[in-house]
Amino acid sequence: MKRHELGRSGLMVSRICLGTMTWGEQNSEAEAHAQMDYAVAQGINFFDTAEMYPVPPRAETQGRTESYIGSWFAKTGKRHDIVLATKITGPGDFAYLRGGARLDRKSVLAACDTSLQRLRTDYIDLYQIHWPERNTNYFGKLGYAPRDDAHATPVEETLDALAELVRQGKARHVGISNETPWGVAEYLRLHREKSLPRIVSIQNPYSLLNRSFEVGLAEFAHREQIGLLAYSPLAMGLLSGKYLHGVRPAKARLTRFTRFQRYNNEQAELATREYVALAQQHGLDPAQMALAYVTAQPFVTANIIGATSLEQLASDIASDRVTLGNELLKGIEAIHRRYTIPCP
């Protein structure tokens, strides 16, 4: 499988990254291990996780995903074959995480230590901020509405704590997630002016139903070599077509967890119908077409896929071998003009 450099880090990562957020909720430990075995056999060397996983987050399951990865490392001895990424949780209703998730120095250092314990490793290749502490637009918000965030941890304090982890050898590189152009610019400014670590990646949503990354962030990714780690490339499975016309397959994520409403709207349904029809016209699996589109974008370092079955995982990984022709790409752009960003 083709590999890309992770920012300016010198690390080469597979352009398909194995996402893990279902492990511990929808997937057992044995199933998680089987997915990692299969992914590595297919040439994937990049795993992405987070301290808050699995999703949906609950006190009872928090950290279980990292623990499953740690037990796989202990069983296989393959830690040094994998570029491992994890994240510290941003602010929210997480009283079970250090009394409430923050991005201050004490929290960053403590979160990394506990992740290292669960992962059974002494270093993390890419340590990421899961989402900002300041008030800004992410998780389905396009518009920016200024609000008082005077008590939010300054980005400089967060990045200085990450610098300490790098000095200690606990984190090799740092990245951000669910960020905005201002956030990227601020992290880069602090790198230049304060000699703090340079971010190597940004993990944001990107799919046929959400191309908002192209507005403002794609140029940063290209010019500053801060590549996109694209999450939710199938819009939580919507682009596979399996939820069309109100269908809710048993055990599927949107069937089991009604809290996920980010992709549940009329425009998303209409756009998905057209993308699925386009794929079928060209003899392609709709999910593979959607994934291949994301992987092919020049600002994307890696496409983060996730699956609940080995069959689904195999199909998603096989999208790496799908090439999209010019006529199909024109069709995608025509649909995009009609349904520009139905799922921010």
Q: Residue 223: exposed, middle, or buried by beta-carbon count in 10 A (0-12, 13-18, 19+)?
A: exposed
**SS3 letters across 43-83:** CCCEEECCCCCCCCCCCCCCCHHHHHHHHHHHHHCCHHHCE
**Which amino acid is present at 141?**
K
Residues facing residue 228 across a β-bridge? 202, 300
125: tokens are: 């290749």
User: Phi and psi for 71 in degrees, rounded to 5?
Assistant: -70, -30
CA 171, CA 253: separation in Å to the nearest integer? Answer: 32
Catalytic, 206? Answer: no
Q: Which of 38, 53, 187, 275 is catalytic?
A: 53
CA 8, CA 201: separation in Å to the nearest integer? Answer: 9
Q: Residue 261: exposed, middle, or buried by beta-carbon count in 10 A (0-12, 13-18, 19+)?
A: exposed
Question: Which stretches does DSSP call E strand in 161-226?
Answer: 171-177, 201-203
**SS3 letters across 243-274:** CHHHCCCCCCHHHHCCCCCCCCCHHHHHHHHH
Sole residue written with tokens 């597979």:
14
Query: Are 149 and 141 contacting, i.e. CB atoms less than 8 angstroms apart?
Result: no
User: Phi and psi for 238 in degrees, rounded to 5?
Assistant: -60, -40
Virtual torsion, Cα 305, 308, 313, 319, nearest 10 deg: -50
CA 161, CA 38: separation in Å to the nearest integer? Answer: 36
Q: Which residues are catalytic?
A: 53
